[in-house]
Chains A and B, each alone.
Chain A
């Protein structure tokens, strides 16, 4: 059911005693996520929303057998916390924080690769498998519905917009993954697409990309060999060159990362590219109609 997480996933929350950590732990629990433990160094022995808090990841994993981690720690502390989770063998490790220093992002990605762990983020809303009641991160739970559409995106609120429209059109989701808005992130579009390709529950994929980098072009290359329909939406058609559009990674620089380059690559690979956000759900419905 879905990819990366399901109803068996036992979640550890790092930074659980902070304002965001505590709030989203409550939200994840309400969604049905199995949050088994939390960690905040120096706050061991407390409870947050009934979840026991430990000083170290090692102690929390020993006691509760957590399998995955969600990090609600500020960007400057993300490197240490992510290394701690990866060292304990957790996967996926979801780094929510924005403003993680780029060099720290490189280190985290290298360590995740060395440990063979799935790293989601930094600068992500997380991921959700609705049928498994598994939500690791911050998206509003009410927008999801179990179903057959896999969603992978760089942007959070744009994902919510599109997922809510899918749900309204009775197109439920297998898994929704936010890969993150930073220049260097863990799992890429291609790696998520590979998992959707192998996932029987996923019958169509929505890819929500934006300007900057080459992740969409690489996804297009992979899409050529994929037998499931993909619908894409790309943000940033009207964005100027050389300006960072909110996300660290959303910038057209040195002639790379333009909207047109991405659109052309995806369309050449047979991906249907919606030119407006509300066209995504109808295109998915049409694709599934044709496919099934």
Chain B
């Protein structure tokens, strides 16, 4: 779960990291009021997607009138497909220098990782590798102040800034651990009036740990359909093609989408019905898929624990309710395969054992003219 900038900054502020004074504003009038209280401000779109600056989502305002105009303009923007519902008006900083500082994970060493750079303000993947300092952090001890001071030294920070940098890094690390974050990032970590301040902040929280972060605010990037299918407990992502896909297991679902592409088709979605999914959720997920008007549907099941006859029963159930309005192709292999295949064939639904044949067939069906 990504947090909006203002949420991340609230967390950092509470952790003792210096952040500029700011107000969350729902419209131009509130932005003007914020400017009256704070003086010149940066008006910033609160969106979860990256790259808002380039998309015009950050504007400077010296007067309340300018702040109101900036807020109105930003709230009308489409920022990479996302629309801000709030702007964050923040006291303008006189930035002398921009650094980068983040705590995330290093999957290859299985440790938390501090990433810092003397070149901040741009995406870290665009910074030259030699300008980046990485320091893996040992558990259970965590980031120790001397380690953070070493990093500051490597960045070439002078005395006072180095001390402050190390202090901020240790605080970020505590947020990373204590808030179950996947990423805590200050980009830029700015030098303004000779002090370090988190000019922008990002905090991505681990979805699997939300149960124990009850006091954190919640955000949701999912589409309406994604929410509907995820509510069934299934992993779902919308993709944009015209062939609806349901498979069991993340890897085989990805592979199914790849195979469709290779066969000249395009998947509408990623839907992992899970290993051993029961007939009820399977039918509900299939109905949700059908509600989005695909040209055809491909169900690809390699039943380890999943029983093929249960999958067939779920499909026949959906059909009996009249929801099956487009061609459906099923590939069924595994436990009770023969029985499941026969149930479907008897009902006139194509059932294959080969993934290749099923994919070729569904692509052909999706290409047929409508009607």
Given known A-B contacts A155-B251, A235-B254, A161 and B302 have beta carbons under 8 A apart: yes
Interface positions, chain B 235-271, Cβ under 8 Å from A, are 235, 237, 239, 247-255, 257-262, 267, 270
CA distance A211 to B248 in the complex (A): 18
Q: Which residues in A have their C-beta under 8 angstroms from that of B250? A: 155, 181, 210, 245-247, 250
Chain B nearest CB, measured from A59 CB (Å): 26
CA distance A17 to B37 in the complex (A): 61
Q: Which residues in A have their C-beta under 8 angstroms from that of B248? A: 157
**Contact call A246/B253, Cβ cutoff below 8 A:** yes
Given known A-B contacts A102-B105, A184-B105, A215-B108, A278 and B355 have beta carbons under 8 A apart: yes
**Contact call B108/A218, Cβ cutoff below 8 A:** yes
What is the chain A residue whose CB lies nearest that of B139? A110
Specify the main secondary structure of chain B where it touches its partner.
mixed
Segment at the interface with B among A3-11, A236-244, A265-273, A283-291: A236-244
Max count, chain A CB within 10 A of own CB: residue among B139, B177, B209, B254: B254
Mask: chain A, 71-112; 1 = CB below 8 Å from B; 0 = not:
000011000000000000000000000011111111101100
**Contact call B356/A276, Cβ cutoff below 8 A:** yes
**Contact call A157/B254, Cβ cutoff below 8 A:** no
What is the chain A residue whose CB lies nearest that of B239? A240
Mask: chain A, 214-248; 1 = CB below 8 Å from B; 0 = not:
11001000000000000001011111100111111
What is the chain B residue whose CB lies nearest that of A178? B251
**Contact call B110/A246, Cβ cutoff below 8 A:** no
Does B371 interact with chain A (Cβ within 8 Å)? no
Chain A nearest CB, measured from B56 CB (Å): 21
Given known A-B contacts A158-B255, A211-B254, A249-B107, A106 and B304 have beta carbons under 8 A apart: no
CA distance A55 to B64 in the complex (A): 66
**Contact call A277/B305, Cβ cutoff below 8 A:** no
Q: Which residues in A have their C-beta under 8 angstroms from that of B333? A: 164
Selected contact of B267 from candidates A109, A233, A238, CB within 8 Å: A238
Q: Which residues in B have their C-beta under 8 angstroms from that of A214? A: 107-108
Q: Which residues in A have their C-beta under 8 angstroms from that of B259? A: 276-277
Interface positions, chain B 313-371, Cβ under 8 Å from A, are 333-335, 354-356
Q: Which residues in B have their C-beta under 8 angstroms from that of A215? A: 107-108
Does B52 interact with chain A (Cβ within 8 Å)? no
CA distance A248 to B211 in the complex (A): 17
Given known A-B contacts A184-B110, A243-B237, A277 and B254 have beta carbons under 8 A apart: no
Given known A-B contacts A154-B251, A238-B267, A246-B250, A110 and B209 have beta carbons under 8 A apart: no
Q: Which residues in A have their C-beta under 8 angstroms from that of B247? A: 157
**Contact call B257/A238, Cβ cutoff below 8 A:** yes
Q: Which residues in B have their C-beta under 8 angstroms from that of A156? A: 249, 251, 275, 304
Q: Which residues in B have their C-beta under 8 angstroms from that of A213? A: 107-108
Given known A-B contacts A156-B249, A278-B355, A236 and B258 have beta carbons under 8 A apart: yes
Does B129 interact with chain A (Cβ within 8 Å)? no
**Contact call A157/B180, Cβ cutoff below 8 A:** no
Does B29 interact with chain A (Cβ within 8 Å)? no
**Contact call B251/A208, Cβ cutoff below 8 A:** yes
**Contact call A157/B249, Cβ cutoff below 8 A:** yes
Chain A nearest CB, measured from B102 CB (Å): 10
**Contact call B125/A255, Cβ cutoff below 8 A:** yes
Q: Which residues in A have their C-beta under 8 angstroms from that of B124? A: 254
Q: Which residues in B have their C-beta under 8 angstroms from that of A159? A: 251
Chain A nearest CB, measured from B190 CB (Å): 21
**Contact call A110/B111, Cβ cutoff below 8 A:** yes
What is the chain A residue whose CB lies nearest that of B249? A157
**Contact call A277/B355, Cβ cutoff below 8 A:** yes
Chain B nearest CB, measured from A137 CB (Å): 11
Chain B nearest CB, measured from A250 CB (Å): 6
**Contact call A238/B251, Cβ cutoff below 8 A:** no
Does A150 interact with chain B (Cβ within 8 Å)? no
Q: Which residues in A have their C-beta under 8 angstroms from that of B111? A: 106, 110
Chain B residues proximal to chain A, CB less than 8 Å: 105, 107-108, 110-112, 123-125, 138-140, 177, 180, 182, 206, 208-209, 211-212, 235, 237, 239, 247-255, 257-262, 267, 270, 272, 275, 302-305, 333-335, 354-356
Complex A-B, nearest 8 residue pairs according to Cβ-Cβ distance, in ascending order: A155-B251, A246-B250, A157-B249, A158-B251, A101-B209, A110-B139, A235-B254, A109-B110
Additional A-B contacts beyond A109-B110, A161-B302 (16; CB < 8 A)? A102-B180, A102-B182, A102-B206, A106-B105, A106-B112, A138-B305, A156-B304, A160-B304, A184-B107, A184-B110, A208-B251, A213-B108, A235-B255, A238-B257, A244-B235, A248-B208
Cβ contacts A to B, 11 pairs, < 8 Å: A105-B110, A109-B110, A110-B110, A110-B140, A161-B252, A183-B105, A183-B182, A213-B108, A238-B258, A240-B239, A250-B250
